Amino acid sequence: MFSVATLAADLYSVELLRANPRVAAFLRWMRKQRGAAFRVRRARVVL
């Protein structure tokens, strides 16, 4: 949806992402979905 440069320069926080009209529309759509299970994958931290 956005380039890495745009994310780094303009949309670098959760608040800014949620305020973006394209992201807000997607979040509204996601909230309406029923029965869909979404998993968030997290990267493993190697020490």
Q: What are the DSSP E strand ranges found in the chain? A: none
* pTM, 2 dp: 0.59
Domain boundaries, the chain: 1-47
The amino acid that residue 36 corresponds to is A
| Chain center to CA of 9 | 16
- 1-47 per-position pLDDT tens digit: 889 999 899 999 999 999 999 999 988 888 888 766 666 677 777 76
Are 1 and 21 in contact by the 8 Å Cβ rule? The answer is: no
